[in-house]
């Protein structure tokens, strides 16, 4: 099992298995697995459920189905406990990212999340992501951390997604009622028949069941991300993973990740402007695989926002040489074009990035 950057989603059943706050019963083994992955040079982003479960015993509610404001209060107090519970099992620092679906839909906030994750990983920090349950409304919620993990895998450009819960994977029948149900180790294509095999969750703390896991897998594999549903309560699962074995259900990516992203950038994403480059910038982008800096920009055309796609043009020949996602709006880029990256903060009063287009957000079209 080969991967370079993975998102690992851990469900509430593993965070608070006894419905009595956070526990290290299962997550110690998960933390060891993450540590071994880091030692092997792999990058890990953690999507952790459990804030509501962690705070459940600290907020009076008197009901098996608390109201939304009560759950938000539980999440508020439980998030700190959940984060502290993770940090105690790592020697490297952890960071907290609380996001909503609204953050992922907004272009500028999407770029900010991507940049933050990049810098955290570059500094060997483990990002721990959760939905911002304390403030999110239904309109802005993803609703479950399985699908949130898939979206985080997309924004972070992970090549693998591991969904850990207290189930072994996808079965051909409900194993709770059918003792002859068989685990499906590999799924090449997600069909209506696969969804029909998904039962509902019987855990009143959890927000998703097998259906949401399959939904998450579908989002991921369509974008070149291999996805696994695994039993995080079985310590042997992690030993098998480290040996390159598949102890659960593997959903195969429909295309190779790099090809999927390059195709999306080149053919699917609509360009909203043009950025004209000098010879030095063209050489750096095309021949050195470098990010685009403001110093190499000669002129702009079009009105675009941060997070929009733009074409990169040879200023002399007017040939399109690349396409990418711009970190700055056209208004801001006009003010910093031709300048050194170190001048951005002084000119604009802010500096979300010292590069205009990161090399990971760029596809070269002509050489």
- Residue 203 reports pLDDT greater than 70: no
Cα separation of 146 and 219, whole Å? 10
8-state DSSP, 253:
P
Task: Report how far apart, in Å, the C-alpha atoms of 12 and of each of 43, 48, 67, 253 are.
Answer: 23, 8, 18, 26
Task: Report how far apart, in Å, the C-alpha atoms of 106 and of each of 83, 98, 101, 306 are.
Answer: 26, 15, 9, 10
Handedness of CA 295, 301, 303, 306 (dihedral sign): negative
Calculate the average pLDDT of the chain.
88
Q: Which domains does the chain have, with CATH numbers?
A: 5-256 (3.40.1160.10), 269-364 (2.30.130.10)
Per-residue pLDDT band at 284 (split at 50, 70, 90): very high
Q: Which residues contact 264 (CB under 8 A, 6 or more apart)?
A: 223
- Residue 276 reports pLDDT greater than 90: yes
Question: Left (φ > 0), alpha (ψ -120 to 50) or beta: where does 92 sit?
Answer: beta
Q: In percent, how much of the chain has pLDDT > 70? A: 91
Cα separation of 294 and 273, whole Å? 16
3-state secondary structure 289-301: CCCECHHHEEEEE
Rg of the chain over Cα atoms, rounded to whole angstroms, equals 22
Question: Left (φ > 0), alpha (ψ -120 to 50) or beta: where does 318 sit?
Answer: left
CA atoms within 13 A on the CB side of 201: 19
Task: For 52-95, write each residue's pLDDT tens digit.
Answer: 887 877 887 767 778 878 888 888 888 898 899 999 999 999 99
Nearest to 261 by CA among 115, 127, 124, 359: 359
- Interior angle at CA 182, CA 181 and CA 184, nearest 5: 135
- Residue 36 reports pLDDT greater than 60: yes
Alpha carbon 206 to chain centroid, angstroms = 20
Q: In this predicted structure, what is the pLDDT of residue 8?
A: 98
Q: What is the mean pLDDT of residues 181-197?
A: 91
Handedness of CA 16, 103, 218, 156 (dihedral sign): negative
Cα separation of 133 and 66, whole Å? 14
Per-residue pLDDT band at 205 (split at 50, 70, 90): very low
Q: What is the mean pLDDT of residues 139-160?
A: 83
Task: Return the exposure string of 220-249: e unless at least 16 CB atoms fall within 10 Å of the residue's CB, then b.
Answer: bbebbbbbbbbbbbbeebbeebeeeeebbb
- Residue 245 reports pLDDT greater than 90: yes
For residue 95, the cross-strand partners are 127
Nearest to 258 by CA among 4, 45, 34, 1: 4
Q: Which residues contact 67 (CB under 8 A, 6 or more apart)?
A: 61
Task: Report how far apart, in Å, the C-alpha atoms of 131 and of each of 19, 200, 304 are.
Answer: 20, 21, 29
Strands 43-48 and 5-10 come out as: parallel
Q: In this predicted structure, what is the pLDDT of residue 104?
A: 80
- Residue 322 reports pLDDT greater than 60: yes
Cβ distance 313 to 280 under 8 Å?
A: no
């Amino acid at each position: 099992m080969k991967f370079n950057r993975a998102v690992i989603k851990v469900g509430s059943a593993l965070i608070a298995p006894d419905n009595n706050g956070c526990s290290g019963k299962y997550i110690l083994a998960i933390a060891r697995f993450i540590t071994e992955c880091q030692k092997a040079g792999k990058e890990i982003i953690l999507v952790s459920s459990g804030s509501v479960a962690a705070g459940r015993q600290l907020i009076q509610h008197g009901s098996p189905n608390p109201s939304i404001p009560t759950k938000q209060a539980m999440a508020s107090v439980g998030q700190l406990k959940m984060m502290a519970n993770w940090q105690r099992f790592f020697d490297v620092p952890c960071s907290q990212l609380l996001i909503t679906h609204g953050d992922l839909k907004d272009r500028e906030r999407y770029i900010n999340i991507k940049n933050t994750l990049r810098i955290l990983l570059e500094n060997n920090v483990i990002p721990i992501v959760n939905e911002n349950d304390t403030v999110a409304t239904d309109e802005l919620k993803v609703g479950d951390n399985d699908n949130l993990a898939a979206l985080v895998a997309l924004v972070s450009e992970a090549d693998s997604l591991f969904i850990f819960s207290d189930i072994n994977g996808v079965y051909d029948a409900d194993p709770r009622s059918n003792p002859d149900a068989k685990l499906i180790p590999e799924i090449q294509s997600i069909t209506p028949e696969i969804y029909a095999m998904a039962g509902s969750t019987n855990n009143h703390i959890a927000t998703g069941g097998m259906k949401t896991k399959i939904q998450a897998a579908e989002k991921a594999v369509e974008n070149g991300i291999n996805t696994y549903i695994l039993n995080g309560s079985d310590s042997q699962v992690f030993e098998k993973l480290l040996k390159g074995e598949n102890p659960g259900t593997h959903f195969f990516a429909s295309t190779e990740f790099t090809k999927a992203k390059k195709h999306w950038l080149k053919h699917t994403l609509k360009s909203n402007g043009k950025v004209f480059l000098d010879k030095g910038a063209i050489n750096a982008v095309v021949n050195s695989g470098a990010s685009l800096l403001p110093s190499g920009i000669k002129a702009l055309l079009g009105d675009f926002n941060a997070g929009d796609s733009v074409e990169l043009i040879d200023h002399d020949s007017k040939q399109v040489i690349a396409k990418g996602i711009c970190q700055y709006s056209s208004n801001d880029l006009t003010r910093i074009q031709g300048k050194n990256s170190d001048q951005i903060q002084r000119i604009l009063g802010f500096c979300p990035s010292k590069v205009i287009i990161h090399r990971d957000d760029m596809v070269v079209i002509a050489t």
